[in-house]
Structure 1
């Protein structure tokens, strides 16, 4: 079957040979210009070790899928590297030019992708410039890496595979040493590139998790513009991950917790909000020293974090809702967090509403928080337990057990029902029937 292009003639096209309208012009693509895989006109022809030429995108997709043979000959490839077929590419471009009157655009000359040798050479230059303390030279080289990474995913993979992330992280630590204010430009450029190359490897996390690097990032979170703060929080999220020592180190830096809360109270974007929530979740949910975590929780609660989380939960998208509930669950593990939750009128209505409404994870967190609050209730009149009954917690928990949940949540839901049952005779529950609309039994 011959592949072809059809181009409708524009009304302004000059008349030829006395013909007023050529509504359809069929141009056949020469067979040797077509990629054997996609059967489309090749934009960047490359030749494999078997001598067969393919379009670069098609053959790289084939190889990245785990194939190590030539699609046509079925021979095992002696090398996965391909060679640009400049002669064929020039022929294709000439053919496009010859047929431009039919609406066929000339295929642009493709950029040659990065190779390992080029990356190694660039990184060597960066290291040398860093040793000479030439921040401007380093900034230019980092900017070049940024441009190359943006050109294609292939370039980005090549950069990552050849140790770029580790070198940039080391560079960031070096230029973070006080006074780092004079190196702001290069540090901002490094943060931008690192945010494009996450997740970070162990070496990069080690450099970026140092005291000097963390101090610098906290400074950026408090003083940088919106884009810098975004890049910084994304990098910081990967640096901390579940590393308890780094999280403790960060919490000791002046202004660190305030910067995280500010990104939630004054959100820059959903991305930064999620990243900040994840970092806070790591901090308050860690199995580290309870005394250390308790101090962190106290600082967060004093900044009004619980109040802000409850406000967010009234109207936020699924991912943010899950993360906000996770943070609230961690905060309510401690007395200071529970006291703030008890004092807020939104607590029970918001939490009960989220059960069976958002996702299994949101339900799990919501039940866990309600359980912690009810279990630690000291008021003789029932306090939050009665509030939970008023907003329909009893029936929701019954439905949760009926429709299925994890064993961990099943135990908490069962215990909650027992606590709620002791106060059921005091009032009738108020149920929002819309909460159960389209509810499906889990398999």
Structure 2
């Protein structure tokens, strides 16, 4: 062969030497007493045909639990396996398993493994749209998980919330605007019942994604979301959690019942004003808008006095002197001007602040 030519890919392909591998393994076994570990026989790579065979057998009730455990092992084993599982439509099959077997029959065998699979293998937007048309209990079956009593309940609930977050982000608006009140009651309940930080943020993302629809805001308020969010913020969560909480509270305080629930919590005004200039520009934006809504629509003498007592007024004054966005200063100045008569004796206003 001329020097400028290269061997074809076929000639360069390596052929496994099974005899050599067996000889090495035999030598390892003979020398085990010297601390030599036997080299394992490599597994053949997974292919789509194998996955399709698993899915075909999956609907046999006698084989279902064994197969779902095998699929979970494959999902956790490698990224390559997960690609085959996605292409074969495993996510849809597992969601139907949760809805049709676990939820409808009240069975929890295989539930933990199923949610673990869905944590690794996500459903596509196209498959999800078809699934919602085929089965209207998919979301209900995932929120049902929060009330199950399992040994690893916190992990299971976290996986369920993460799956819900992924689905809600891909769902059509027609799904989001028809979420039922029980959905929000169970979602709010996960904050009380215990969940990981990752799960907390996922639940908050779901609520924030649902907020643009007015009916959803009412359902959240009815579920006690405002009170629970304030309680959650008192636990000094991470920056991202605070931004999500304040974002949701802003939406909920845009309705009268939401503001009433916010003010019924003795720490509402305090915890929101405390976050000004201490978290991020995004948190400042939401916090100042919440205080603006409270002052504009619910600014009774009692509320304005509470703002003075918990330090909200002094925080607004501090914001005027801070290095922050001009529009935030304008919003703070607007609040202070609107209630100058009630707060004019506050030392932080002094003689330098002019209401007009």
Going from structure 1 to structure 2, the CA distance change for 1:124 and 1:307 (only over 3 Å counts) comes to: same
CA distance in 1, matches of 2:296, 2:170: 28
Are the equivalent residues in 2 in contact too, given 1:170–1:207 (CA < 8 A)?
A: no
Q: Which residue in the other structure is 2:241 paired with?
A: 320
Larger radius of gyration: 1
CA distance in 1, matches of 2:281, 2:23: 58
Q: How does 1:22-421 map to 2 (within 5 A)?
A: 85-86=16-17, 106=37, 108-109=39-40, 111-112=42-43, 114-115=45-46, 118-127=47-56, 129-130=58-59, 134-172=60-98, 175=100, 180-181=104-105, 184-198=108-122, 200-206=123-129, 209=132, 210-225=135-150, 226=153, 227-241=155-169, 243=171, 244-252=173-181, 255-283=182-210, 285-286=211-212, 288=213, 290=214, 292-300=215-223, 304-318=224-238, 319-379=240-300, 381=301, 383-397=302-316, 399-400=318-319, 403-405=322-324, 409=328, 411-419=330-338, 421=340
Structure 1 residue ranges (4+ consecutive) displaced by more than 6 angstroms after TM superposition: 87-103
Going from structure 1 to structure 2, the CA distance change for 1:239 and 1:194 (only over 3 Å counts) comes to: same
Cα deviations by residue, 1:109-138 (Å, 9 ceiling, x for unpaired): 3643634xx3333224423542xxx23323
Q: Which residue in the other structure is 1:37 paired with?
A: none
Shift of residue 397 of structure 1? Answer: 3.9
The SS at the match of 2:40 is coil
Are the equivalent residues in 2 in contact too, given 1:329–1:368 (CA < 8 A)?
A: yes
| Larger displacement relative to structure 2 (94-103 or 336-345) | 94-103
CA distance in 1, matches of 2:23, 2:116: 40
Going from structure 1 to structure 2, the CA distance change for 1:321 and 1:146 (only over 3 Å counts) comes to: same
Are the equivalent residues in 2 in contact too, given 1:277–1:323 (CA < 8 A)?
A: yes
Name structure 1 gaps, 5 residues minimum. Answer: 1-74, 431-443
The SS at the match of 2:187 is helix
Structure with more of its chain in helix, by fraction: 2
CA distance in 1, matches of 2:148, 2:295: 41
Q: Which residue in the other structure is 2:353 paired with?
A: none
Aligned residues: 333
CA distance in 1, matches of 2:94, 2:346: 63
Shift of residue 154 of structure 1? Answer: 3.5
Q: Structure 1 length as normaliser, TM-score?
A: 0.63
